[in-house]
Structure 1
Amino acid sequence: MPISPDMAEDLAAAVSSLYEQAELALIEKVTRALAEGLNSPLWMELKLAALGNLHAAVEEIVTALQADAAGAIHQAVAEAYDRGQQAAIAELGALAVGPALAAAEALPTAAAVDRLAAALVQETGPAHVRMLRTAVDVYRQVIAEASSAPLLGATTRRDAASRALAKFANRGVTGFVDRSGKAWNLTSYVEMATRAAVGRAAVQAHTDRLAAAGVELVVVSDAPEECPRCKPWEGKVLRREGPSGAGTVELEHATEDDRMVRVRVAGSLPEARASGLLHPNCRHSVSIYLPGVTRSRPKPPSRATYERTQQQRYFERQIRAWKRRAAAAVDDAQRARANARVREYQGRVRELVAQTGLPRKSRREQIGAGAVR
């Protein structure tokens, strides 16, 4: 069966949910620590004296996250690799041509899985240090803003603390920059990295299996609601590996001995992936291309434009953001207003789904669902 990063989407969610739950716990911990005794004239002195307690509480959250995340990452990568390999085995077994039947069995996976999982653990490692530093920095910042604002006649201490905490809830733990220079918050960064890693594991397992079977070419599906990065590769035949650039290759017919077939290729799979194909959340898949046998398939009908799918992602991010705002509320009135905004954006999602027929992924609206940007 064809392979796509979507096959491992649920595995990435299992990892990213750990980080968003930890981020939510961090927001709640900071908020409760600051809200206690907010009306006391000695509030600033009490809060500064309690900084060590906050540090210890957040450190406990981070330590638990580190232990849970390492195991979850390895499990997700292993499962993704197995799904990719099984997809290739299913394809090869169904074809039953050439070396396919003999090759339709699983390869050892431990080394590849360990390598991919270790790379992701290393990539997400800085998140743990950043969480602890952010919690302490925000705690100090809120104390400073809430203490100085009334002296300047600008607002009450409660209002100043509320605004500072709302800003923190909106942006979350920040300071993560990917290889392209794009900035992310914690949960968005972890989900991006995890989705990329498990998608890469599934695709690598698929291509490893095809390589063992001697398959040289693959074909990209023609998917609906495609993004601009993937569109140039739709329906194109690619070298499984090898040189970049378009060209023509001559291979033996898949089912007829001594008959050669000329195939136009658009480039290599590594080249296409480097330009964006099979990115996290990509709707395209890759499957075996058999010279002289494989025929192009009609493109499935689109349910909506790519822009409308991105609008749905925006609404989902807003739902999660306002849930974080509710967690950072210092009183019931603010919490009620934040929850009202949650319901508002949930209504927008329902309207969009009804208008377009796009599937509603309620998991993405829950705290614990990483953001997709």
Structure 2
Amino acid sequence: MPVSPAMAEDLATEVGRLYQDAEASLLERLAAALEADIESPRWAELKLASIGNLRTAVETIADALQRDTDGAVRRALIEAYNRGRQAAVTELGALDIGRELVARRTLPNAPAVDRLAASMADDTRPVYQRITRAVVDAYRRVVSRASGNVLLGTMTRRQAAQRALDQFAQRGITGFVDRAGRSWEMASYAEMAVRSVTARAAVEGHIDALAEIGVGLVVVSDAPLECPLCRPWEGEVLSLSGPAGPHTVRAEHAALPEGSRLGLLRRAPTVAIHVAGSLVEARAAGLFHPNCRHSLSAYLPGVTTRPQAPPHPQGATYEDTQQQRYLERQVRAWKRKAAAAMDNAARRKANARVRDYQARIRELTADKGLYRKSAREQIGSAR
């Protein structure tokens, strides 16, 4: 059974939901703090005086989020690693090497899980450090803008506050930059990190199991609608160790003839294999990025054939999938605005836009034969 990032996708759901709930709670808390006493002539003074109360409330949410997330992430990593290992057992179970693998211990590799958990902690530490400052800064900014617009007589305080709050909700709590220099909103950044690390756990469980029984080559699937990052590696053989870059190796035929198994032949037949590079090299170049559709299988010399995917039946392209991602981002943005609404009129307007973009998603997916996943339309989704 091939291993792929999708194998562990559902494990990130629990963690992603924690961040979704936290972001919605933060937006609602911010809206409620701004709405209180909004008709008072001393509104701006009262708001600035209550920053300490808001900071305490936000820190409480952030602390609870971190505690809940730590346990959920470790559970997800252990399950993902075991799924990857089991995939190797299933894939090779009918062969002698597969039966050998079945007989081995299947406990999770504790050092690997610990390493991945530490990596996840490093990746998400900026989230918790940024939450309180981002919300308090937004609060001050909304108060300042609302007060200025009221003095100019251009709109009421409620209208001005709602407009400034909408601008904040549209972006989400931003300021998180990944290693590629891309900027993320809080919940999206955290969910991306969780999905990435659980995908890595599944792949590592798989390749650790293969390495135990001496399988040193794997082959990448040929997936439809592939992105430019993955395209160079489709259908290619990769080494689990060894030099980077394209090269040719010779390996014993995996399905040895009866004579060689009995020692009647002086040497087993070998097969020339073109290796596109190492797995480490391919991953560094972008293979198995978040939302990657590719999978990895053991490559058995002389037995495994290189995969070839048929074209998409309804002619969908990679660009169509990116249009779907754009529409999903719009749904999430308007859902954040609904969460930050200070009155029912603003909430109804935001929810109407949500329904409009969801209708466009339904039309696109039906026309192009793409899958619609409602999880991608939730606040905080990174997909």
TM-score (norm 1): 0.95
- Would the aligned equivalents of 1:73 and 1:121 in 2 still touch at CA under 8 Å? no
- Percentage of matched positions with identical amino acids: 58
The range that moved more, 154-163 or 215-224, is: 154-163
* Rounded Cα–Cα distance in structure 2 between residues aligned with 1:351 and 1:100: 46
* Rounded Cα–Cα distance in structure 2 between residues aligned with 1:118 and 1:218: 27
Amino acid of the structure 2 residue aligned with 1:292: G
- Would the aligned equivalents of 1:322 and 1:338 in 2 still touch at CA under 8 Å? yes
How far did 1:152 drift? 2.6
Candidates 289, 302, 310, aligned match of 1:279: 289
**Partner SS state of residue 235, structure 2:** coil
How far did 1:103 drift? 2.1
Aligned to 1:2: 2
How far did 1:156 drift? 2.4
- Deviations 1:114-154 (Å, cap 9, x if unpaired)? 22112202211221121111111111111111112222333
**Partner SS state of residue 125, structure 1:** helix
Aligned to 2:265: none
How far did 1:366 drift? 2.6
- Deviations 1:79-112 (Å, cap 9, x if unpaired)? 1111111111111213x13x33212332542221
* Rounded Cα–Cα distance in structure 1 between residues aligned with 2:195 and 2:233: 21
- Would the aligned equivalents of 1:3 and 1:203 in 2 still touch at CA under 8 Å? yes
Aligned to 1:90: 90
Number of residue-to-residue matches in the alignment: 369
Aligned to 2:320: 308
- Deviations 1:190-245 (Å, cap 9, x if unpaired)? 12211211111111111111000100111111111100111111111111222101
* Rounded Cα–Cα distance in structure 2 between residues aligned with 1:173 and 1:362: 22
Amino acid of the structure 2 residue aligned with 1:120: M
- Would the aligned equivalents of 2:82 and 2:108 in 1 still touch at CA under 8 Å? no
Aligned to 2:69: 69
Superposed counterparts of 1:177-188, under 5 Å: 177-188=177-188
Aligned to 1:291: 301
How far did 1:300 drift? 3.6
- Would the aligned equivalents of 2:78 and 2:108 in 1 still touch at CA under 8 Å? no
| 2:381 is aligned with 1:370 | yes
**Partner SS state of residue 251, structure 2:** strand
- Would the aligned equivalents of 1:13 and 1:370 in 2 still touch at CA under 8 Å? no
* Rounded Cα–Cα distance in structure 2 between residues aligned with 1:222 and 1:108: 29
* Rounded Cα–Cα distance in structure 1 between residues aligned with 2:254 and 2:167: 60
* Rounded Cα–Cα distance in structure 2 between residues aligned with 1:300 and 1:70: 41
* Rounded Cα–Cα distance in structure 1 between residues aligned with 2:271 and 2:382: 45
Aligned to 2:239: 239
Aligned to 1:100: 98
Aligned to 1:265: 275
**Partner SS state of residue 264, structure 1:** strand
* Rounded Cα–Cα distance in structure 2 between residues aligned with 1:108 and 1:192: 23
Amino acid of the structure 1 residue aligned with 2:304: T
TM-score (norm 2): 0.93
* Rounded Cα–Cα distance in structure 2 between residues aligned with 1:139 and 1:40: 17
Aligned to 2:155: 155
Unaligned residue ranges in structure 1 (runs of 5+)? none
How far did 1:166 drift? 0.4
How far did 1:155 drift? 2.8
- Deviations 1:34-82 (Å, cap 9, x if unpaired)? 0112111111122122222211111111111011011111111111111
* Rounded Cα–Cα distance in structure 2 between residues aligned with 1:30 and 1:84: 42
Amino acid of the structure 2 residue aligned with 1:43: W
- Would the aligned equivalents of 1:233 and 1:277 in 2 still touch at CA under 8 Å? yes
* Rounded Cα–Cα distance in structure 2 between residues aligned with 1:184 and 1:74: 23
- Would the aligned equivalents of 2:169 and 2:337 in 1 still touch at CA under 8 Å? yes
